[in-house]
Amino acid sequence: MIVPAEVVDYDPRWPLWFAEVRDRLTPYLAELPHRIEHVGSTAVPGLAAKPIIDVDVVVPTADQVPAAIARLTATGYRHEGDQGIPGREAFALPPDAVHYHHLYVVVDGNKAFRDHILLRDHLRADPADRERYAERKRELAHLLTTDRTAYVSGKGALVEELIARAGGSRGADGPGHTAA
């Protein structure tokens, strides 16, 4: 599957794509307490984004993370560790993935999860900040084909500002970032 490398206008199919990903994951996690959240830019109606669905599998406690990792790897996802963001376990897609997506396991209430939810909910509620963020993403979009790290870094200060405005902070468990 080719990684999308452009920022496009909001697509009303994105919530449907999330639902398809969620529905494929749910049977594998059925015996584990969890919920599955649509996070990131595709979860914000009206926000321009890379057409990549960000998905958080949220477990209640840290001791349930290994079980979630084991179940997801058994389905073909490849665990990639926290990728430098404490409290967020990332996965590479299985060969039969539906829709390109980023998948993470997080613990309910940890900083990585709070940041995802705070940013998502703030952008849903604040049209001016939603447009500021979309504009920043469009300005940096040319980097998606050459330097994704620079793209993410270029959004970093604004993301941190928006999370802080939404009631978040840097907190004790690290600076947290969003894939949005």
Closest CA to 179 of 103, 68, 109, 122: 103
* Structural domain includes residue 6: no
CA distance 83 to 9: 28
pLDDT at 172 over 60: no
Mean pLDDT of 127-155: 95
Kindly report the CATH number assigned to the domain that includes residue 150: 3.30.460.10
How many C-beta atoms surround the C-beta of residue 135 within 10 A? 12
Q: What is the secondary structure of 12-78 as a DSSP string? A: TTHHHHHHHHHHHHGGGGTTS--EEEEESGGGSTT--B-S-EEEEEEESSGGGHHHHHHHHHHTT-E
Q: What is the pLDDT of residue 49?
A: 96
Q: What is the pTM of this model?
A: 0.90
Domain of residue 50, residue span: 14-165
Q: What is the pLDDT of residue 4?
A: 85
How many domains is the chain partitioned into structurally? 1
CA distance 140 to 148: 10
pLDDT digits (tens, 9 = 90+) for 98-120: 899 999 999 999 999 999 999 99
* Structural domain includes residue 2: no
Q: What is the pLDDT of residue 5?
A: 86
* Structural domain includes residue 7: no
End-to-end CA distance of the chain: 19
pLDDT at 174 over 70: no
